[in-house]
């Protein structure tokens, strides 16, 4: 294998789901592979695109189609519209890669590219970064996935729960599947000391500002209870996203004076200040924020969704809310609060446990996995 194409099909925006293929592309390029990359033409293109180009990795935008086709699609019935893949993926036919790595923000978004690869005899693998019980594939998409996934060389998932849910969603075993880990943004061995507790305890909510995925509204409903308002607990929000103004508005609506918006801060900065993590996600893959917190010896209070229970042992390495609803988040937070004097020690146990699961260098692990494939 000499030529490899990394293609992101996540049309929303650059985020945590892009880091594995992005960092892997540099590793393959440095190892002598001929590498190209392709992303949707996001409204806000990250500087990462220029970083790829600076290393000699050519970048294609896979959602581009000619203007006349866009105009036609505005008025034509869906059944006879132009498909962007006919233009957006054409670069693959010129490059003729030995392998196409299809990166998905969720678990279904790469279906057009899977089918394109099958139609053009291109070998491919898929990466699924999340799965959502509330987003079920239609019957048509079910059949397309059922046909395409077995034809991949491998289908990678970031948690066993995501794989299991995908199998349930299509009613079919995915026998060519494997669990992988995304890269994290803290040192595997770090010296992030537990902050001294002075007047307040600080919880970090590290999540992009999207209610439907990260459930900030659930957290705010819990914190709106008088008992939490009266306790010496501060919740710092880290991240950005499409619901920035809505988050601010809801904080004001509930009069949550102890919820502080901190914006984007690097993980080491977050864990120098905060004593524990809280995530009230409705769905996930395996959140990097949780992995990073545990590597920094911090415990997590998280919802029992997707990969969370695969790294959190309830009451031992963290605290699991039974579901992403205020009642259960409140119950888990109460259990955690009753043991707040133990958070430092629980964080040490969390660190030991996450290191038994997550490799020190996920990029190297993925690189070796791809190299081992018979293509």
- The reply to whether 91 falls in a domain is yes
Same domain, 30 and 135: yes
- The reply to whether 192 falls in a domain is no
Same domain, 169 and 78: yes
Same domain, 177 and 223: no
- The reply to whether 333 falls in a domain is yes
**Predicted confidence band of residue 77 (pLDDT cuts 50, 70, 90):** confident
With 0.85 as the threshold, say if the pTM is over it: yes
- CA 319/CA 196 separation, integer angstroms: 22
- The reply to whether 196 falls in a domain is no
Same domain, 246 and 351: yes
Supply the CATH number for residue 79's domain.
Answer: 3.40.50.2000
DSSP tag of 16: G
Same domain, 37 and 64: yes
Summarised one tens digit per residue, pLDDT across range 142-158 is 999 999 999 999 999 99
Summarised one tens digit per residue, pLDDT across range 300-327 is 999 999 999 999 999 999 999 999 999 9
Same domain, 339 and 364: no
Same domain, 176 and 231: no
Same domain, 94 and 242: no
Whether the per-residue pLDDT at 2 is higher than 70: the answer is yes
- The reply to whether 310 falls in a domain is yes
- CA 262/CA 314 separation, integer angstroms: 28
- The reply to whether 195 falls in a domain is no
- The reply to whether 97 falls in a domain is yes
Whether the per-residue pLDDT at 78 is higher than 90: the answer is no
**Predicted confidence band of residue 15 (pLDDT cuts 50, 70, 90):** confident
Q: What is the pLDDT, as a whole number, of residue 131? A: 94
Range of 96's domain?
A: 3-184+360-371
What percentage of residues in the chain have a pLDDT greater than 70?
A: 95
- The reply to whether 193 falls in a domain is no
Same domain, 42 and 164: yes
> Which two three-digit tokens encode residue 364?
């190297």
Mean pLDDT, range 99-114, rounded to an integer: 96
- CA 162/CA 283 separation, integer angstroms: 10
Summarised one tens digit per residue, pLDDT across range 249-279 is 999 999 999 999 999 999 989 999 999 999 9
Same domain, 167 and 296: no
Same domain, 133 and 228: no
Q: Which residues contact 62 (CB under 8 A, 6 or more apart)?
A: 7, 8, 9, 38, 39, 40, 84, 85, 88, 89, 91, 113
Same domain, 62 and 207: no
Domain count, the chain: 2
Q: Using only C-alpha atoms, what is the Rg of the chain?
A: 22
Q: What is the pLDDT, as a whole number, of residue 102? A: 98
- CA 320/CA 309 separation, integer angstroms: 7
* Higher per-residue pLDDT: 84 or 315: 315
Q: What is the pLDDT, as a whole number, of residue 342? A: 98
């Amino acid at each position: 294998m000499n030529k490899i194409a990394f293609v992101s099909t996540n049309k929303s925006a650059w985020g945590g789901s892009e880091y594995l293929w992005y960092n892997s592309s540099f590793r393959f390029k440095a190892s002598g592979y001929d590498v190209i990359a392709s992303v949707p033409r996001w409204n806000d293109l990250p500087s990462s695109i220029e970083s790829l180009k600076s290393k000699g990795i050519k970048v294609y935008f896979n959602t581009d189609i000619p203007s006349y086709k866009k105009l036609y699609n505005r008025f034509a019935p869906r059944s006879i519209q132009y498909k962007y893949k006919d233009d957006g993926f054409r670069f693959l036919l010129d490059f003729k890669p030995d392998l196409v790595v299809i990166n998905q923000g969720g678990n279904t978004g790469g279906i057009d590219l899977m089918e394109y690869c099958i139609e053009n005899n291109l070998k491919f693998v898929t990466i699924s970064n999340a799965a959502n019980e509330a987003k079920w594939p239609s019957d048509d998409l079910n059949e397309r996935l059922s046909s395409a996934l077995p034809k991949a060389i491998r289908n990678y998932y970031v948690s066993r729960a995501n794989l299991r849910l995908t199998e349930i969603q299509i009613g079919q075993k995915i026998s060519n599947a494997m669990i992988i880990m995304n890269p994290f943004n803290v040192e595997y061995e770090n010296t992030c000391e537990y902050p001294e507790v002075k007047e307040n305890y600080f919880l970090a909510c590290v999540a992009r500002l999207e209610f439907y995925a990260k459930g900030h509204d659930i957290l705010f409903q819990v914190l709106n209870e008088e008992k939490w308002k009266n306790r010496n607990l501060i919740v710092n929000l880290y991240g950005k996203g499409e619901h920035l103004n809505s988050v601010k508005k809801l904080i004001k609506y509930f009069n949550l004076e102890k919820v502080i918006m901190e914006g984007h801060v690097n993980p080491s900065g977050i864990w120098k200040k905060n004593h524990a993590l809280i995530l009230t996600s409705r769905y996930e893959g395996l959140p990097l924020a949780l992995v990073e917190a545990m590597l920094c010896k911090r415990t997590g209070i998280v919802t029992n969704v997707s990969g969370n229970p695969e790294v959190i042992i309830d009451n031992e390495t963290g605290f699991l809310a039974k579901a992403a609803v205020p009642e259960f988040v409140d119950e888990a937070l109460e259990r955690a609060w009753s043991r707040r004097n133990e958070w430092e020690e629980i964080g040490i146990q969390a660190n030991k446990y996450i290191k038994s699961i997550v490799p020190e260098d996920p990029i190297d692990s993925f690189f070796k996995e791809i190299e081992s494939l018979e293509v």
